[in-house]
Amino acid sequence: MDENVKIKIEHEVSRIERLLEDVKPLLDLCKIKDPDIIEMTAAAQVLHSFYNGVESVIVLFFKCFDEKLPNDFKWHKTLFEMAF
């Protein structure tokens, strides 16, 4: 694997890990009570950020191996199907 790609993937993974550490209090709170609208909105943003991070890692990995990335209107779903 190209060293530059490896660095980018490691950076993205560290961003995901930092996100999960930063929002642990919110996630813990949502485990013990139903979230209010503000907590639910925050949790939705966390999920979106997490998803984007994972998707970025998959794209970097595919590009590293010259895999053709999906280009259809369901490319997010197709990308995950290709990865898993």
| Inter-CA distances, 65 with 1, 30, 46, 58, 73, Å | 8, 39, 29, 11, 23
Is residue 37 over pLDDT 90? yes
Q: From its phi and psi, is residue 66 left (phi > 0), alpha (psi between -120 and 50) or beta?
A: left
The mean of the pLDDT values for the chain is: 94
- 59 CB-near residues (< 8 Å, 6+ apart): 69, 79
Section 57-68 average pLDDT: 91
Q: For the whole model, what pTM was predicted?
A: 0.85
Is residue 2 over pLDDT 90? no
